[in-house]
Structure 1
Amino acid sequence: MEAKRHWDDSDEHSDQSGDKRIKRLPSFSTVIKEAVMANKLQKVCFALEPFLRKVVREEVGTLMHRIYSCPPRSIQMQIEATDQSSLKLIFRRPLSQPIFTGTKIEDIENNPLQILVVDTNSGVEAASALLRLLPIKLELVALEGDFPSGVQEDWTGDEFQNKIVKERTGKRPLVVGDVNVTLRDGVVIIHELIFTDNSSWGKSGMFRIGARVVPGSYDGPRIREAMTEPFKVKDHRGESYKKHHPPALDDAVWRLEKIGKGGKFHNKLAANNINTVQDFLMLLSVDPDRLREILGQGMTDRAWEVTTNHAKTCLVGDKRYVHRGPNCDLVLDSVCEVVSIIAGNNTYGLQDLINRDDRAFVMQLAREAYEHWHDLEEYEASSNGDVPLNQNVQMTQGVVEPLPPYADQENGSLLCRFGPPQLF
């Protein structure tokens, strides 16, 4: 018979050590539970993944939309916000137009262009505020005529750069002359600036002149670029058709607005011996209806107004001409306008004639003077523009002499009855 195993301390110690080993290892149930939890978590992740992707995609899309829907100018303006200032360049006066290739560009007063620095807050010249910044190097460039777009009143340096127009392939630089200048005391004068090519090939068919601080040459608050109004640059061959502002007396009549060289109006005027601006103004003074009739119905009322107003800007000078009438003399200017009327010891202006018949009589004398223009006596007007004596005068080889008294009706001549309310 097998002997019974007795419980002893060694067995007890053995069981205790085995229990300790078992406790250090995860139980089967724990492993199962953790596996189930991991499986559930993975399933949850798999289930949430499309949703999370969608949320991320929407958020990223919204962010990208905000970025790309914001104009580049706005982004750039934000970047440059720390570099904002109230200083800007301007051209002192508008350009004289039209502008032709190979011809020096001037301002509207026919002086060299001037560029100033002004304070946009006050609108005044900012030379005194720039003493610490001077000198400043500037460059002049050609810009697209449609820049800036719309009502945009400000732009970034990059926008300005992107609108600079370069010469066409194989051509000379588009703008030559004083394209690199130095601004001192808040002003710089551009003595010579010339376009070498016309603007017809540009996107807008027009250019602007822009002026900016040379990039990299200046370390200070931004000075905004200047630009002129848009304009066309015409080929120099068209300069021979250029209108003059103001026209001169000896200019060809087609120099007037609305009268084209070799056009129908030009030909009609030439057929009636109206070849110069002076010829045009003389007939306009003495018989405007006749002049309008010569031009014909093809000239609209608006065109007539433009042409005559342009002609009237002509400087007529100080020359005066005397026409002898039957009972008074007329003093006329270079375009046959009545300057004064002389009778006896009195001198009158046309505005002094309050009687319609008197005015008609004087205008008839003016038409006679027009018909015999080359026979009139000529002299230079005095400082007040009148005949240098306060009496009726006779011009004989430059000598002023009194005229004899007018004859009365018994001698077959009209008596001169100048003076209010009528003259004759």
Structure 2
Amino acid sequence: MVQKRYFWEGGEEGSDVPNRDSKRRNASIRDMNKSSMQELVIKLEPFLRNCVSQEVQRAINSYLRSPLNQIGSSEGSRSLQLHFDDELPSTLFTGCRVEKEDSTLVKVVLRDSMSKRVITSGPLSSIKVTIVVLDGDFNKDDKEDWTQQEFNNRIIQERAGKRPLVTGAVVLSLREGMGYIEDVSFTDNSSWIRSGKFRVGAISSEGSIREGMSNAFKVKDHRGESYKKHHPPSSDDEVWRLEKIAKDGASHKRLTSHGICNVKGLLQLYVTNPCSLHKILGGNKISSKAWNSIIEHASACLLDDNELYLYKAEDGTVLVLNSIYDVVGANFDGGHYLSVDMFNKSEQLLVDNLKQHVYKNLNYLVPLGDQSFVAHPLLLPNLQTGSYCNPSIQNVSFQVGQDYSL
């Protein structure tokens, strides 16, 4: 049998072992690979050192900025601050514009944190400001010493599957350090967060400017707006627009059953006979807090200055009353007209006694259509029974009150 012959790489036919040159070549390749790796490491070392240094510095900066490592108002360099110049109502409604109680625009200003001076010039006086929504519980102590991170952590986003929480012109531009929230509205109520309230925040892209925030308020669904209380109420508002009087509630029904349908009527009875009003509202059953809330709210009503009444007593004294029958002035013994703040003690005593008689004889009141008598205190009316010589009211006739005595 012919013996098989093997062929080895790099060897000759008939060789029984690998060629020694092949071993040397493999060793040389390994040396070259080792040398290349060392050269690569040497070349990459500066780059790697730089990356590590940057990451370490970033971690240090992050640590130093954390709330746990800040002392007092640590962001003292943020000497400028956005500020809400106006207070928002205690309740807003979805779909309705964010605005003040009197339906005017909410103003945002950029001011110096220390001097409170508005920044009216320079590039920062015309920055863009973005409106965001915050948790109503944030900054409850109103210290205004929050950090940027704390502020950002309290920004509220919309619920899953809902539209953005606020829509409209959420970015506004300042002019001379002032701007207005013109057309921003909520799309969702505030009942789903723990505090049940939101705040509106203002932020800018300038890291040196501290953020601003409004007071806390509730946001209710639009369907509740029809039951909204008015602040301030108008004289012709229905009485249920007042605090503590629910629409179609017991107090509302009791008032309307006595012919008191609007705020003006309630105030007229409060001025002329407060005990009667208190009795209608429940007497001892109504708490002092509820009573005070109703009267305080109603008293904020803006009265019609053009509605005045005159009352003439037997002694010739003429009282001037406003639309809710409160005395605003008087004429004594044919003298000058005096406003109520000009009465001396004896005149005030006379009026206090006389008006009690007036309130029992409201049918004696005569409407005054022309205001010149009141607008010009030096006009001298002729106090003869029956008419005044002042041209603006010379045709006014008086029914003289009877049985008046001090």
Aligned to 1:272: 258
Amino acid at match of 2:130: E
Which of these residues, 381, 406, 411, is aligned with residue 371 of structure 2?
381
Which of these residues, 244, 247, 268, is aligned with residue 230 of structure 2?
244
Deviation at 1:207, TM superposition (A): 0.5
Q: Distance in 1 between matches of 2:398 and 2:261?
A: 39
State the SS of the aligned residue for 2:387: strand
Q: Distance in 1 between matches of 2:351 and 2:175?
A: 64
Amino acid at match of 1:113: V
Q: Distance in 1 between matches of 2:399 and 2:273?
A: 31
Q: Does 1:258 align with 2:244?
A: yes
Q: Distance in 1 between matches of 2:176 and 2:190?
A: 34
Cα distance 1:225–1:356, how it changes in 2: closer, same or farther (>3 A)? closer
Aligned pairs (5 A) from 1:155-304: 155-214=146-205, 218=206, 222-295=208-281, 296-304=283-291
Aligned to 2:299: 312
Q: Distance in 2 between matches of 1:306 and 1:250?
A: 19
Aligned pairs (5 A) from 1:35-114: 72-75=66-69, 84-108=77-101, 110-114=103-107
Deviation at 1:251, TM superposition (A): 0.7
Deviation at 1:90, TM superposition (A): 0.9
* CA deviation vs aligned residue, 1:284-333 (integer Å, no higher than 9, x gap): 11111111121122222232222212222222222112346566554322
Q: Distance in 2 between matches of 1:290 and 1:119?
A: 54
Amino acid at match of 1:313: A
Cα distance 1:108–1:124, how it changes in 2: closer, same or farther (>3 A)? farther
Which of these residues, 327, 333, 336, is aligned with residue 325 of structure 2?
336
Which of these residues, 360, 363, 376, is aligned with residue 367 of structure 1?
360
Q: Distance in 1 between matches of 2:334 and 2:304?
A: 26
Give the greater-gyration-radius structure (CA).
Answer: 1
Deviation at 1:183, TM superposition (A): 2.9
Amino acid at match of 2:300: T
> Does the 8 Å CA contact 2:166/2:185 hold for their aligned counterparts?
yes
Cα distance 1:271–1:339, how it changes in 2: closer, same or farther (>3 A)? same
- Two-structure CA RMSD over aligned residues (Å): 3.8
Deviation at 1:389, TM superposition (A): 4.9
Aligned to 1:57: none
Aligned to 2:23: none
Q: What TM-score do the two structures reach when normalised by structure 2?
A: 0.69
Aligned to 2:394: 400
Q: Distance in 2 between matches of 1:262 and 1:252?
A: 11
Which of these residues, 285, 310, 316, is aligned with residue 322 of structure 1?
310
> Does the 8 Å CA contact 2:381/2:388 hold for their aligned counterparts?
no
Q: Distance in 2 between matches of 1:289 and 1:349?
A: 27
Q: What TM-score do the two structures reach when normalised by structure 1?
A: 0.67
Q: Distance in 1 between matches of 2:310 and 2:218?
A: 46
> Does the 8 Å CA contact 1:320/1:331 hold for their aligned counterparts?
yes
* CA deviation vs aligned residue, 1:364-408 (integer Å, no higher than 9, x gap): 223321xx48x8434132374579652336389x752487998xx
Amino acid at match of 1:111: T
Q: Distance in 1 between matches of 2:75 and 2:302?
A: 54
Cα distance 1:127–1:324, how it changes in 2: closer, same or farther (>3 A)? closer
> Does the 8 Å CA contact 2:75/2:147 hold for their aligned counterparts?
no
Deviation at 1:270, TM superposition (A): 1.4
Amino acid at match of 1:204: S
Q: Distance in 1 between matches of 2:277 and 2:228?
A: 23
Cα distance 1:148–1:320, how it changes in 2: closer, same or farther (>3 A)? closer
State the SS of the aligned residue for 2:231: coil
Aligned to 1:390: 381
Amino acid at match of 1:240: S
